[in-house]
Structures are given as structure tokens and as C-alpha cells.
Amino acid sequence: MIRKYTFGNPFPTEAVVKDIPASQGTLPYFTREDGSLVLTLEEGAPVYGLGEQVRGINKRGWTYTSNCSDDPHHLETTHSLYGAHNFLMIGGKQPFGIFIDYPGYLTFDIGYTRKDTLRITPADWDMDVYLIEAEDGRFPSIVRAFRQMIGRSYIPPKWAFGYGQSRWGYQNEADVREVAARYREAGIPLDAIYLDIDYMERYEDFTVSDEKFPDLTGLAADMKKEGIHLVPIIDAGVKIEEGYSVYEEGIEKGYFCKEEDGAPFVGAVWPGRAHFPDMLNPAARRWFGLKYKGLLDMGIDGFWNDMNEPAIFYSEKRLNKVFDEVASMKGQNLDLDKNNHLLGLVNTLANNPEDYRSFYHEPGNGLPRVRHDKVHNLYGYNMTRAAGEAFEELEPDKRILMFSRSSYIGMHRYGGIWQGDNMSWWSHLLMNVKMMPSLSMCGFLYTGADLAGFGGDTTEDLAMRWLQFGIFTPLMRNHSAMGTREQEAYRFSNAEALGRIIKLRYCLLPYLYSEYMKAALHDDMLFAPLAFAYPEDPQAAQVEDQLLLGESLMLAPVCQQNATGRYVYLPEDMLLVTTSGPEDFRCQKMTAGHHYVPVAEEELIFFVRRGHLLPLSKTAENVASLDSSALDVIAFPDGGCSYTLYDDDGVSKDYDDPSRLSVIDVSSDGAVRYEGTTERKIHTCFICS
Ligand code: GLC
């Protein structure tokens, strides 16, 4: 059951697609105290949710802020990352979910100030609050009800489940061709190469540098012959430059965000001074979205939207003030306080809250103009929506890859997200692991982190361990920052072993794609904490570095340098699979309880759950050449098990066609029964009795 409570005059975020009339009563469970919604938490009861956030799967014990922020060096003590996902589930005798549909600055103090108190504080009391309860009182059912309310998660093309290589630093066509050639030479599969800002002319959106990429259409076609898709970046800020058509049209039509006096707001990003399209204005959104057509026409079928918190390096006005003040300090004796002041002036130039309070949106539809900070968390959502709506118009029958850096709930219908700039740190690998189920709860199914880490120099073993986890995440992209150690798989001394791990991804694809599609089509989670499947097991509730992936698998990644094994907790008997790549699946039945499992650096482990099976294909050079007409099966039938496999052509959108589904049954004596309109040979390669 879902109940909606409206406070003040909320901005229509369009996060929710279901029509739910506002309830007249008062919001249960919570009291309203000093501008906050307050609730006493039961001792030991977990709190889940918040999507892209720091810390654990159980969010108790910290203060989290919804304030989309560009923060590449985030730590455990950070309060806000690139997205704002205001959905929480509160455990206890009667678990329930709460979605605060409020696009401004919002804090969730979850047992931080007082251990037993949840305190939710919005900057203004203009919000819709949805209370979500499930008949069975279970978390998965609460998630499903919430997800039904916010609409179907984005479905990418199948090729976007392949491995992608990215780096801020591929300067020209020759660099891109080299990456493709070296992957092919090394015999490592590859489905995508990402183009970062250097492909553009002077960092201008929707342009292609003539000098560096003289024939992008030709390059894209050549790459497609190799089964590789080019995926260019699009940034939020539009460079101010006479003669640049996007700038000139935006000015002429009045489509940029404006300051109080109506002048377009000037902030700086990669190209220097820029204007920010008013993504909340439907006409401006359509205008910006249709600009992607130029690249689509060049044979591009995937994009990543960046800097859309929006990140602002400095505003023109603030920069001038800072220059004046710094000049006035010249020649002075800078003691501790003055020196700190000087540093403070420079260090607060970027993403300054005052700047976010200095410009406005014109949302149309009879709505008054709104100051940016009140709707800050909607910017990246609406930039991606601009693209998503345009793709619907331009390519109604084709799936286009789209993922964004910034997001709000609602954006999950238009694209995926990557988890923003991270660092080549073991702690960020662990954060990637813990974020996956929280993102599933909030509808962001197509997601992954920059594998091997974006900032800082990676190490070979971190790259290995991160890829070993990354083969399970829907977005599997290796991305790094300019100036850091090069981390393409073929760069490392043991490229062969890394290659084998990447090949394994393709063996897992029939299962991963099937589970992704079923999760999207049925509003289910793709990744889940153990506690969701084993609610009666108090030990399962403690585990945060093991995850369930779909119905059959439990993952237990190694996230520690120099570790050659790890402890795992099994809530029930499971089948341990140890592998270093295709054709190497060592299976062993393990009993419920705690175990130490050796995991050599070149290996990974995962578990097949009791009563489940895992279909595997042979590996492939890319998704297009994957042959799923013959599947191997690893099964733990426990008296007989059955798996419903979803598959389709990977580009069209008739997901509900029943011919997409087939059923694999394995009985305890190993006999296989297959039913489906697609011809398939099923071979049991391991059966656990
Ligand atoms: C931002 C993005 C990163 C990208 C860089 C340059 O930091 O998050 O992925 O490489 O900008 O475009």
C-alpha cells in the first residue's frame, strides 16, 4: 500500500509515474520537530536505500545529504555524491519504505546525532512524501511497490553489456584505432571505446574536432566492423562563443538558465565560460535532446552525459570578486588566518552553493520560475531525459545506450548511471560493491563504477580484483583520468590473466542479460543484500561484502590488496565456483556457515544457490558474436531446479513477446529438459547432488 502526503507546494519532479491521490491524514510513524521529520529507530533494525551514497548497505550511523556534487576524492566522511536518491526502507517490527520527492537540499541523519533517531530535514517544506508498505512486510516487496510507482527502469542495447574501454586522454583517431587493435591482438573481447572530451572542437558539445577526428562517421563504421561501438561524452555546459551554433541558438531562443535580472548565467567548465541549458524547460529540453541527432547520424548509438550536477568550476561573478580580493592581499603579511582566507577564496570557487542560488529555471506549463538550488538535484535527470525523449522521437524502435553522472529518481527511466569519479583505491572497490544493491532498490539497474579506478595510479592487482567484480556489473567499463597510469587490460604484465577474466564476462552474459531484463520488466532488484533472501538469518543481515545477483548467484569479491583468499558466510548450502576464466569452472559443494576460501590473484569465486542453476555460454569477441544456441549449465538442483531464460535481439523494444522466454529444467539425476521457441542445446557441465 502506498500513501502520499503533500507538504507546501512541491515542485513537480515527475519522479513518480503512478497517479496517487494525496492522503488527507497525517504522516504516520513520524513526528514533525523543528523543521524535520523524526522517527525512533528500533534497536538493531537496519535502514536501507539512498542509492548512490557512501558507506554501507545498512545506512545507519551517518548523515547523508541529497545534494548532487562533483567530488572525485570522496571519502567515508563525505555526505553527498553525484546522485540524489531519496528512498529509504526502515527495518523493525513493521518495515516500510519512504520516498521524499523533494529536489532541493535534504539531509538524512540516520542515527548519527542520536543513535536511535532518524531525522529527515529538507531545506524547505515543499515536498511529496510517499509511504510504502507491503502486505508481507518484506523488503523485496516494498522495493517492488516503490519501483512500480516510479516506472520501468531503462533498458540498454545488449551490446552495452559487453566490456568497454575508456580513458580521458585518447586524443585522436589514431589513439582509438590503437586501443581497438591492441585489444584484438591480445585476443581480449571489447564492445565499446569511449570518447572523452578531446573528440570535440574546443570542448563544444555536439561538435567533432576536424583535426583530431576528421572522419568520425568512417571511424565509427570501421569500428562497428570490428564489433566495437564508439560512445562519446556530452557535457552540460555550452561554450560561449560567437559562431558556435548551439550557443547562438540557445541565446536566441532564451534556453539558458538566467540570473535574477534575466541575463544568462555564466559559469565555467571545460571550455571556460559557458551557459547551462535550462533542462527543466520542456522546449529547451527538446531542443538540446534533438542535438544528439548529429552524432546518431554519424553512426553513434551510445552516449554518456557528464558534468550535469551541474559542476561549475567558477562563476564569472565570483571569479572577479576573488581576483579583486586576492589582488588586495598582495604585499600583505599573510599570517595563519589571512593565508587560510586566501586558500579559502580559491578553494571555494568550484561548485559554490551561492552560485547555485544565483540562477533560475523557467519550467513552463504555467509554473513560476524557480531558483536553481530549490531544484538542484533535477538537473542531471533532465539532461538525460532530454536525450531519452529525443531518442524516442528519433529512433523509436531502437535502444540507444545512455548513462549519466548525476541523477535523481525518475532518471532511471531514461538512462543508467556510472558511479562518478572514483579513485584507484581498494576502499572505492568496496564502495562499488556496497552501492550496487542500494542502486537496485532505487531503480538504477544499468550501472557500474570506473573499473580499476579513475583518479590516481592503479596497481595490477587492483585492476585484476576490480575487473573480477566488474564482470558482474551491467556497465563494465574501464575508465581512467588523464595523467594517471594507463590501465587498459593489455598494459599489464599479466594481461593474459586479465583477458581471461574479461572473457568470463561473455560466458556469464546469457545469465546477466536475462536477470537484468527480468529485473527491469518486473520491477525487481538485480543486486540484493543477503538479508533480503534470508530474512530469518541474523548473520546474513551482517554481511555487506557479499551480494546476491539475480536468483541464482551469490558473489563474494576480494577487495583487499595481497589477499589470496577470504572469509565467506553461507546462509545455506551452496555450490562454490572457482574460476580463472572460460573453461575453468571448479565446483565444490559447501555447507552453510563460515568458511575461509582460497582465491588466488588470477581467480575469482562465486556461489550458485541451492535449488538454482547458472547457464553459461562459450566466450566471444563481442556481444554480437555470442552464441547462445549451446549453453552449459552449472546446477545445484536440490531435488530439481528450473530457470527461466530471457533473451532477445538486443536492440528492439518488444520485450513482452513471450517467445523471449525459455525454460531450462535440471533434475537431481542431471537430466535436462529445455522448452523454448529458440533452438538450444543444453549441456550440464556440473551438477551438485
Ligand atoms: C569528469 C568525468 C570523467 C571524465 C572527465 C573529463 O571528471 O566524470 O569521467 O573523464 O570529466 O571529461
The pLDDT > 90 percentage for the chain reads 99
Number of domains in the chain: 2
Specify if 67 maps to a domain: yes
Specify if 426 maps to a domain: no
Specify if 519 maps to a domain: no
Choosing from 132, 150, 168, the residue where a domain stops is: 150
Ligand 1 residue neighbourhood (C-beta within 6 Å): 168, 196-197, 233, 306, 405, 421, 479
With vertex at residue 529, the alpha carbon angle to CA 75 and CA 159, rounded to the nearest 5 degrees, is 85
Rounded-to-integer distance, Cα 210 and Cα 205, Å: 14
Report how far apart, in Å, the C-alpha atoms of 437 and of each of 72, 530, 656 are: 22, 10, 25
Which residue bears the cell 553513434? 300
pLDDT per position as a tens digit, 353-370: 999 999 999 999 999 999
pLDDT (mean) for 393-398: 98
Domain of 609: which CATH number?
2.60.40.4040
Specify if 104 maps to a domain: yes
Specify if 218 maps to a domain: no
Amino acid at 297: D
Task: Out of 196, 231, 407, 482, give the residue to mutate to test ligand 1, the one with the largest number of ligand atoms within 8 Å of its CB.
Answer: 196
Domain of 8: which CATH number?
2.60.40.1760
pLDDT per position as a tens digit, 280-322: 999 999 999 999 999 999 999 999 999 999 999 999 999 999 9
Ligand 1: which residue has its CA nearest to atom 10?
Answer: 168
* Domain membership of residue 39 as a residue range: 2-150
Choosing from 116, 132, 150, the residue where a domain stops is: 150
- pLDDT-derived band of residue 688, with 50, 70 and 90 as boundaries? confident
Specify if 681 maps to a domain: yes
Q: In whole numbers, what is the pLDDT of the chain averaged over residues?
A: 97
Specify if 463 maps to a domain: no
What pLDDT, on a 0 to 100 scale, did the predictor assign at position 402?
98
- pLDDT-derived band of residue 687, with 50, 70 and 90 as boundaries? confident
Choosing from 123, 150, 177, the residue where a domain stops is: 150
pLDDT per position as a tens digit, 493-524: 999 999 999 999 999 999 999 999 999 999 99
Distance 104 CA to ligand 1 centre (A): 24
**Strands 630-636, 681-687: pairing kind:** parallel
- Determine the atom of ligand 1 nearest the C-alpha atom of 72: 7
Reply yes or no on whether the pLDDT at 685 is more than 90: no
Distance 680 CA to ligand 1 centre (A): 43
Residues 6+ apart with CB under 8 A from 583: none
Reply yes or no on whether the pLDDT at 47 is more than 90: yes
pLDDT per position as a tens digit, 169-209: 999 999 999 999 999 999 999 999 999 999 999 999 999 99
Ligand 1: which residue has its CA nearest to atom 5?
Answer: 168
Reply yes or no on whether the pLDDT at 689 is more than 80: no
- pLDDT-derived band of residue 330, with 50, 70 and 90 as boundaries? very high
Q: What is the DSSP string of 220-282?
A: HHHHHHTT-EEEEEEES-EE--TT-HHHHHHHHHT-B-EETTSPBP-EEETTEEEE-B-TTSH
pLDDT per position as a tens digit, 447-496: 999 999 999 999 999 999 999 999 999 999 999 999 999 999 999 999 99
Specify if 628 maps to a domain: yes
- Determine the atom of ligand 1 nearest the C-alpha atom of 167: 10
What pLDDT, on a 0 to 100 scale, did the predictor assign at position 334?
95
Distance 306 CA to ligand 1 centre (A): 7
